[in-house]
Structure 1
Amino acid sequence: MSRLYAPRAVFEAEHQELRASVREFLRREVAAHIEEWEDAGDIPRELWGRAGKQGFLGFGVPEEHGGPGVADYRFRLAMIEEFAKVGATSLAAGFSVHTDIVLPYLVDLAPPEQAERLLPGLATGERIGAIAMTEPGTGSDLQGIRTTARPDGDGWVLNGSKTFITNGIHADVVIVVARTSDDPAAGSRAFSLFLVEEGMPGFTRGRRLKKVGLKAQDTAELSFEEVRLGPEALLGEEGRGLHALMSHLPMERISIAVTACAGTRAALEWTIEYVHQRRAFGKEIAEFQNTQFALAEMVTELEITQAYVDEAVLRLNRGELTAVDAAKAKWWATEMHKRTVDRCVQFHGGYGFMLEYPIARAYADTRVTTIYGGSTEIMKTIIARDLLGVR
């Protein structure tokens, strides 16, 4: 590997040991199958179990519930970088939703009996998790959610539909955001979180959605028709759903920023290797000043962004990362990622448009990163409101 992968100060020896284990897992179980999975539009479910046995899925889950009891996000940072190196973006996306989004909600909010029942299987990959926020008519505006949960005895009845749900086809456990009050004065307290599980009557999966990129990662529509839930299905407090979402967004968004930096680094690595192979006018593309200046610009932009993201990871570990600072990392890193991959495709020429090259798959996979997890425009709005003190 080039100096792009020189050790960084953010990592310690234990993180690099995990990195080596992940690299071996990817070599043995993943790298040779990526193109096959992309063509099939699916990743074998059993791969989750194999990853779980290696301890790659349960970060943050306490030891008493089958996890390593380690919440240090630097382990995830190292893992995400290794997945990016081999172009396993679809697999990484599913794992990130499961590990970086679903598990923290359950660890923090699930009642003891639910945690004891669900977390061990999620930590080992026996169960797969998803979160259902987006609806057909509602994207980043979570207060526009129409899915409802009405009280019924000591439980609830859930009705509504969700779309663009990562892990939607394979998920055994889904965290669903639903409206629990129709009082206009309730504001953000009109929403709650619920746990819906595979096999519950009225819970159905719609079609597997065909996407521009991340083709092997399963994304689906979900429907809930008179789904009866017990009182234990309420995750956290009634009316505190949006508060829970806001408190967990820093990890979700820093996960996306970490993935963007890792993807940028991989794209540059592939491109540096390629410009030494490709020749024009009797010399390597690497010898042209335009190539040198462009790569210098992209590497500099990556390293400056990486420094901010690495520091954000350390602040996340300390519980100090704010939603605003996570929003800065998310929009900037994803826009940089998209911009860099586009430039790297240009250096590959016509081959950059061929799916047998990882840069071409990266070009398709990268586009959605400025949209999901909150669009760039929403991130800027969050930052501006904090800066100007307006709503």
Structure 2
Amino acid sequence: MKHIDEFSRPEEYISPFDKHFRTVLRGVLEETVMLHRREYDEDWKEHRLIEPAFDRLMGELGLQKSLFPQDHGGWSLANSDSVFRIGYMLCEELGRADTGFAVALGVTFWPMLVIMVEPYVNDRLIAEFAPLFCSTNKAVFAANAMTEPQGGADIENLGLLKGKTIRTTARLDGDEWVINGHKLWPTNSGGVSKLFGVPCTTKPGSADPRDFAFIFVPADLPGVTQGGAYEKAGMAADKNGDIWFEDVRVPSWYRAHGPGRDAEAFYQLISFGQVMSCAFLTGAMMNLHERLF
């Protein structure tokens, strides 16, 4: 089987963190995910085999806390100049093991990047959510609760649609946001996530970026309902279902940055997601090459 160093790669894009951590990560993935991945399709609902692998990678190894600052119990990777390259390496190795597993784990980072990477850092929200991810050895998931029944992932195309299709609304009532809407198929829905990053609008139908809001919503709040996971053809480690928000109230400061800045940060978030999707697929192709040659 070919080692990663035998594949041609641009050395200037490799972070100092890459070589040693890739070796550790690959070893853990081969012991956990790759050992059982052919059984994952039958485990789509219960996650009897899948959940322990997430616990090992996210909780025990500590991936879920890696973006958080060290003074909150994390690794401070979000502050690294190499965060983008490290993310690619991580997603590539996860994709090599199982693409559904890669998406579920990778998307847990996705909403947190909105408040952790310069120039879009919100220290108050980082401090608020750090204990959720940094104080346990069990896997904790987050979701970018973006996709909606009427337009799927159209929301991510801010450049063309400018948020006009968003139906989930946020209304400011005193010092709280009141959120209403229905999200369909987000990765890490189906009862998995503890925290949602919710793209919504403060003025339905508006193309003004100041009316786009990215608001964090803990999954256990009154008014939040999650449906069960849908059975899919593959990608069993990634659960997808429905999320309903009915007069859900969160503090006003749970909004990521504010009018205009939310849209800017979300646009950068989508860029991260696009590149990491390429990494998942590159990892899968690497494994195919290894198996064939």
TM-score normalised according to structure 1 size: 0.62
Query: Which of the numbers 108, 120, 130 marks the counterpart of 1:98?
Result: 108
In structure 1, distance between residues paired with 2:265 and 2:14: 30
Could you tell me whether the CA contact under 8 Å between 1:191 and 1:240 is conserved in 2? no
Query: Which of the numbers 18, 23, 29 marks the counterpart of 2:21?
Result: 18
In structure 2, distance between residues paired with 1:264 and 1:181: 43
Shift of 1:217: 1.5
Could you tell me whether the CA contact under 8 Å between 2:194 and 2:219 is conserved in 1? yes
Could you tell me whether the CA contact under 8 Å between 1:111 and 1:232 is conserved in 2? no
CA RMSD of aligned residues (A): 2.5
In structure 2, distance between residues paired with 1:95 and 1:65: 21
Shift of 1:117: 2.7
3-state SS of 2:63 partner: coil
Could you tell me whether the CA contact under 8 Å between 1:203 and 1:222 is conserved in 2? yes
Could you tell me whether the CA contact under 8 Å between 2:144 and 2:186 is conserved in 1? yes
Question: In the TM superposition, what are the counterparts of 1:209-224 in structure 2 within 5 Å?
Answer: 209-224=230-245
Query: Which of the numbers 141, 151, 168 marks the counterpart of 1:147?
Result: 168
Query: Which of the numbers 200, 206, 209 marks the counterpart of 2:227?
Result: 206
Shift of 1:13: 6.2
Could you tell me whether the CA contact under 8 Å between 1:61 and 1:103 is conserved in 2? no
| Residue 67, structure 1, aligned to residue 70, structure 2 | no
Question: In the TM superposition, what are the counterparts of 1:244-255 in structure 2 within 5 Å?
Answer: 244-255=265-276
Q: Hey, what does 2:2 align to over in structure 1?
A: 2
Distance 1:119 1:126, change over 3 A: farther
Q: Hey, what does 1:166 align to over in structure 2?
A: 187
Question: In the TM superposition, what are the counterparts of 1:76-87 in structure 2 within 5 Å?
Answer: 76-86=87-97
In structure 1, distance between residues paired with 2:125 and 2:67: 16
Distance 1:113 1:47, change over 3 A: farther
Bigger Rg over Cα: 1
Q: Hey, what does 1:131 align to over in structure 2?
A: 144
Could you tell me whether the CA contact under 8 Å between 2:149 and 2:184 is conserved in 1? yes
Deviation track 1:152-188 (CA, whole Å, cap 9, x = no partner) reads 122121100011110112100000011112474x622
Gapped regions of structure 2 (runs ≥ 5): 156-162
3-state SS of 2:181 partner: strand
| Residue 31, structure 1, aligned to residue 23, structure 2 | no
| Residue 115, structure 1, aligned to residue 126, structure 2 | yes
Could you tell me whether the CA contact under 8 Å between 1:155 and 1:230 is conserved in 2? yes
Q: Hey, what does 1:267 align to over in structure 2?
A: 288
Deviation track 1:173-213 (CA, whole Å, cap 9, x = no partner) reads 000011112474x6222210111112101100023122222
TM-score normalised according to structure 2 size: 0.81
Distance 1:183 1:267, change over 3 A: closer
Could you tell me whether the CA contact under 8 Å between 1:192 and 1:234 is conserved in 2? yes
Equivalences, count? 269
Q: Hey, what does 2:55 align to over in structure 1?
A: 49
| Residue 189, structure 1, aligned to residue 196, structure 2 | no
Gapped regions of structure 1 (runs ≥ 5): 273-391
In structure 2, distance between residues paired with 1:4 and 1:116: 37
Q: Which amino acid aligns with 1:122?
A: F
| Residue 178, structure 1, aligned to residue 200, structure 2 | yes
Percentage of pairs with the same residue: 25
Shift of 1:78: 3.1
Q: Hey, what does 1:366 align to over in structure 2?
A: none
Could you tell me whether the CA contact under 8 Å between 1:90 and 1:216 is conserved in 2? yes
| Residue 227, structure 1, aligned to residue 234, structure 2 | no
